[in-house]
Amino acid sequence: MKEKVVLAYSGGLDTTAIIPWLKENYDCEVICCCIDVGQKEELDGLEERAKACGASKLYIKNVVDEYVENYIMPTVQADAVFEYKYLLGTATARPLIAKVLVDVARQEGATAICHGATGKGNDQIRFELGIKALAPELKIIAAWRDPKWTMDSRESEIEYCRAHGINLPFSADNSYSRDRNIWHISHEGLELEDPSCAPNYDHLLVLSNSPEKAPEEDVHLSIDWEKGVPVALNGEKMSQREILEKLNEIKEINNICNVGSCSGYLIIIFNPDRTEQMLSYPAFMQRAGCSVSRSCIWSFYGILHSADQKSTRNRKPACVPWKYGWGICQCYDF
């Protein structure tokens, strides 16, 4: 009987290529596991795609409520921000994903867990420390650091998939490395690898609009807070998950909370990675919560000036009036 390997599967380019690669190089049964932390339509068609690539089965584990309540909200309460602007959209989800991967591996009697994180970023550390803390007996296959992995670019991964008869649901010029959840979506790769290139927003934006396409109308929001977490939106009591989902719906129409950053890594490399992040409204919520805690007011009224952001020479942040002035919700367009 072949050994079983559980693959942390997103359906993106990396993990799509890893399925046939694992079978060729480890002669194993590949069991895919996708952890639903709010990817929405990205989950559509995953089972068919995973099995078409050679996986024996796919688990989709919905942990959105657990993610919001036990991982996102504590970061809001702590005003946790990395390097002044990154609101931990990917980082907060990885420990929970590692926990679910371990649960599935034990359920299936697998001997190893495989992930598709690159060898230069922080995700490999998040995954591997989480897995080893919970299941030190499990082996970890880090494809991008494996000597058997010969692909060195997204273009070579695309060619590998084509050679194995795998039809990819995206084109080569739109093959960003994306990570999405209810709290944010981040993008890496393609023109973002070159700091001298402007982002191609027509291809890039998923949870937001460009300033040129944002509506002319202002958006008026109020959020009520209790004990450092949001409890109501525009006067209507909701769960934290429902508040985030509603705010995301508003964000998809407006140009709000797009942030560009060059991230630092625990693994020291010469070139830091450039990431474009659409923050699923955490910048708005977190800065609002920060202003609330500082001024001891348990509700606030924000006016998001979407129309004012249309000027490329004078883009304004979404503005939230508070005790000490304007500019709590800084929205970066790079």
| Host H or E run for residue 229 | strand 229-233
Bridge partners, 276 (sequence order) = 187, 260
Q: Which residue has the tokens 């129309």?
A: 307
Among candidate residues 14, 179, 224, 273, the one labeled active-site is 14
14 among known catalytic residues: yes
> In whole angstroms, what is the distance from residue 138 CA to residue 323 CA?
52
Cα 44 off chain centre by: 17
94 among known catalytic residues: yes
Amino acid code (one letter) for 163 = A
Give 292-332 as a DSSP string. Answer: HHHHT-SEEEEEE-TGGGG-SSSPPPPB--BTTBS-SS---
> In whole angstroms, what is the distance from residue 253 CA to residue 214 CA?
7
List alpha helices for 61-137, DSSP H: 64-67, 73-78, 94-108, 123-134
Among candidate residues 177, 186, 261, 291, the one labeled active-site is 177
241 among known catalytic residues: no
177 among known catalytic residues: yes
Amino acid code (one letter) for 176 = Y
The contacts found for 210-213 with CB under 8 angstroms, 24 or more apart, are 210/255, 211/255, 211/309, 211/310, 211/311, 211/312, 211/315, 211/333, 212/310, 213/255
- Report the Cα–Cα distance between both ends of the chain, in Å, rounded: 52
Whether 73 and 80 have beta carbons less than 8 Å apart is answered as: no
Among candidate residues 49, 94, 126, 274, the one labeled active-site is 94
Among candidate residues 36, 123, 224, 273, the one labeled active-site is 123
Helix axes 282-295 and 240-251, enclosed angle (nearest 10) = 120
Q: What are phi and psi of 31, to 5 degrees?
A: -110, 115
Residues marked active site are found at: 14, 94, 123, 177
